[in-house]
């Protein structure tokens, strides 16, 4: 089966366009708001699957297609990633192939509300048709890989080696201190903070100062090899928290060595820290970039700076990664909470929908 997209100002208009050109044989696999890259073609995109052997009219070369000819390798990579994402969405849509809910129905109101929360159309459709949002994603509010243990004073206890990774300014350092204070200090079990944030002296200073305030030791290392060694030196610590630098889109080459170490370390519990306030397509792209670290869990920060929480579920579902913690403010150590399915689902559904459901 091949895919073909149609763009227009409304989903209905895009569908009309597609049906006129393709007839009834083509299968609707997705309908969604256009991405920033394709928005110039229309506010909505519908994607149709064309059966093998389907003959379509000669393609018209439009703006983006023409632009692609001169695109850089980076741009090409982005397009491949976007295509991959579309294929994943198509897979979801094919598993739930019902048409969009009829307008005016409660189902349609729910669908619209969930779309407004930036939930993926395929997930919004499932939820509007009765699948609880809670069944569409995972949470796991734990620190450490459960198999890892440490021995202190003859007592064997679970050991947590936790690394926070994520884009610049996501809130990694602040979140790390909150977790160290909340889980390391209050349990009175030995903890250590390690920073591999060497390029920016000020960043290491920020962490050292915060670590001193919460009363936890802090080492600063310069290379991934040194990091591995210091983790080993602290093998008697119950908690090791590792802060890493934020790598921007153009800096991912610099991240490779660190990514390889974290991905291969058997004790490592790597949490990808992402701002909930990031635009949905940027969030998806950032997650794709950080795949090389093989993260185990997702932490969403800046929950206080957005009202659209659908992307939390989109990304957890798309990558099959559980959400571990949520941060909703700058206060250390208070503004952090273990992620709960009910809480996240309620935020995505919103209040109006709850009352709408209650009156139905
Ligand atoms: N509103 C809000 N601000 C936050 C939250 N978490 C962190 N911040 C703020 O975001 C800014 C960046 O936080 P950092 O912890 O330094 O971010 P980082 O990911 O370590 O940044 P780099 O090390 O530069 O990559 C700081 O001003 C934090 O106070 C949150 O949940 N809500
Ligand atoms: Mg930092």
Closest ligand 1 atom to the C-alpha of 174?
Answer: 15
Atom of ligand 1 nearest to the CA of 305: 1
**pLDDT tens for each residue of 148-201:** 666 666 666 678 999 999 999 999 999 999 999 988 777 778 999 999 976 666
Distance (Å) from CA 228 to ligand 2 centroid: 19
Q: How far is the CA of 23 from the centre of ligand 1 (A)?
A: 51
- Mean pLDDT for the stretch of residues 212-222: 91
* Predicted pLDDT of residue 293: 97
DSSP-derived secondary structure letter, 272: E
- Tokens 């809130």 map to which residue? 171
Task: Tell how strand 239-243 and strand 191-195 pair up.
Answer: parallel
Element (H, E) at 114: helix 106-116
**The pLDDT of residue 292 is above 70:** yes
Question: Looking at the predicted structure, is the pLDDT value of residue 231 above 90?
Answer: yes
Nearest CA to ligand 1 atom 7: 171
Continuous segment of H or E residues that includes residue 289 = helix 280-289
- The pair of structure tokens assigned to 250 is 């153009």
Omega before residue 333 within 30° of 0, cis: yes
Comparing 18 with 360, the larger pLDDT belongs to 18
Res 357: pLDDT: 45
Owner of token pair 């070369």: 61
DSSP secondary-structure letter at 139?
Answer: B
In this structure, of 55-59, 185-189, 221-225, 322-326, the range with the lowest mean pLDDT score is: 55-59
Whole-angstrom Cα distance, residue 181 to residue 190? 12
* Rounded average pLDDT over 198-205: 70
Local confidence band at 147 (pLDDT 50, 70, 90 cut-offs): low
d(CA 334, CA 75): 41
CA distance 289 to 349: 29
Top pLDDT among 98 and 125 is at 125
* Structure confidence at residue 144 as a pLDDT band (50, 70, 90): very high
Q: For 140-153, what is the mean pLDDT?
A: 76
Q: Is the pLDDT of residue 356 over 80?
A: no
Ligand in nearest proximity to the CA of 247: 1
Q: What is the pLDDT of residue 324?
A: 98
Report the pLDDT value the prediction gives residue 1, as an integer from 0 to 100.
Answer: 65
CATH 3.40.50.300, the chain: domain bounds: 149-339
> CA–CA separation, 137 vs 344, rounded Å?
10
What's the Rg (C-alpha) of the chain?
23
Residues flanking ion ligand 2, Cβ below 5 Å = 172-173
What is the per-residue pLDDT for 74?
Answer: 63
- Mean pLDDT, the chain, integer: 83
- pLDDT (0 to 100) of residue 226: 95
Q: What pLDDT, on the 0 to 100 scale, is given for residue 204?
A: 78
* Residue range 44-98, pLDDT digits in tens: 788 877 777 776 554 444 444 334 444 566 667 777 777 777 776 666 655 555 5
Residue 67's pLDDT is what?
A: 41
Of 144-158, 215-229, 265-279, give the lowest mean pLDDT range: 144-158
pTM higher than 0.85: no
pLDDT of 59 reads 44
Q: Which of 206-220, 260-274, 328-342 has the lowest mean pLDDT?
A: 206-220
Mutation pick for ligand 1 pocket among 330, 332, 336, 337 (CB with most ligand atoms within 8 Å): 330
% pLDDT > 70, the chain: 80
pLDDT of residue 103: 66
| 149-339 is classed CATH 3.40.50.300 | yes
* Mean pLDDT value across residues 243-267: 93
pLDDT at 347: 95
Query: 3-class SS at 206?
Result: helix
Q: Which residues line ligand 1 (CB under 6 A)?
A: 166, 168-174, 203, 245-246, 301-302, 304-305, 327-330, 335
């Amino acid at each position: 089966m091949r895919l073909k997209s149609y763009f227009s100002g409304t989903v209905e208009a895009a569908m009309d366009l597609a049906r006129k050109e393709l007839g009834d044989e083509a299968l609707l696999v997705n309908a969604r708001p256009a991405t920033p890259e394709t928005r110039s073609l229309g506010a909505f995109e519908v994607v149709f699957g064309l059966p093998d052997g389907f003959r379509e009219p000669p393609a018209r070369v439009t703006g983006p297609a023409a632009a692609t000819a001169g695109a850089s390798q980076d741009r090409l990579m982005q397009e491949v990633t976007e295509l991959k994402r579309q294929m994943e969405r198509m897979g979801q849509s094919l598993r739930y192939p019902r048409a969009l809910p009829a307008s005016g129905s409660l189902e349609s109101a729910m669908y619209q509300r969930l779309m407004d929360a930036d939930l993926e159309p395929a997930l919004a459709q499932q939820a509007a048709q009765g699948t609880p949002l809670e069944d569409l994603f995972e949470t796991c509010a734990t620190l450490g890989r459960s198999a890892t243990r440490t021995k202190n004073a003859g007592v064997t206890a679970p050991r947590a080696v936790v690394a926070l990774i994520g884009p610049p300014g996501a809130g990694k350092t602040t979140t790390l201190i909150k977790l160290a204070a909340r889980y390391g200090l209050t349990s009175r079990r030995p903890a250590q903070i390690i920073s591999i944030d060497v390029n920016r002296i000020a960043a290491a200073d920020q962490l050292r100062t915060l670590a001193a305030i919460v009363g936890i030791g802090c080492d600063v290392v310069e290379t991934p090899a040194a990091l591995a060694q210091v983790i080993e030196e602290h093998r008697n610590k119950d908690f090791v928290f590792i802060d890493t630098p934020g790598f921007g889109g153009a800096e991912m080459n610099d991240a490779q060595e660190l990514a390889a170490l974290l991905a291969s370390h058997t004790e490592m519990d790597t949490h990808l820290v992402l701002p909930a306030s990031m635009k949905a397509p940027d969030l998806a792209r950032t997650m794709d970039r950080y795949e090389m670290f093989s993260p185990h869990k997702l932490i969403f920060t800046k929950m206080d700076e957005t009202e659209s929480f659908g992307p939390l579920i989109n990304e957890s579902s798309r990558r099959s990664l559980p959400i571990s913690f949520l941060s909703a403010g700058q206060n250390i150590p208070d503004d952090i909470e273990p992620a709960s399915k009910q809480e996240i689902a309620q935020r995505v559904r919103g209040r109006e929908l709850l009352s709408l459901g209650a009156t139905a």
